[in-house]
Amino acid sequence: MATIRIPTQLRRYCGGLAELRLASADVRTALGEIEKCHPALYRCICDEAGSVRRHVNVFVNQDNIRDRDGPDTPLAEKDVVTILPAVSGG
């Protein structure tokens, strides 16, 4: 099972959980599980077409999925997926 780390600002969309444990072969499958269990959280991560939102970064361990196989990036049992929404301000 991979560990999905939820940032503080998104925890309200999944009952306050800091982490989810999901048995998923790849990031796309993990996102599908999030959609089923926590649809409000999923909408914060993915757009209407099911793509990761432009201002959200998803990392598997230390690698951004955009630098790997995108949502098809495979997951192993001990992998950690970190969701990081962009922070901006002035």
* Tens-place pLDDT, residues 23-69: 999 999 999 999 999 999 999 999 999 999 999 999 999 999 999 99
Report how far residue 2's alpha carbon sits from residue 87's, in angstroms, rounded to the nearest whole number: 25
Q: Map out the domains of the chain with their CATH numbers.
A: 2-85 (3.10.20.30)
* Residues 81/41/8/59 CA torsion (nearest 10 deg): 20
Residue 12 DSSP symbol: G
For the cut 80, the answer to whether the pLDDT of residue 90 exceeds it is no
- Predicted TM-score of the model (pTM): 0.91
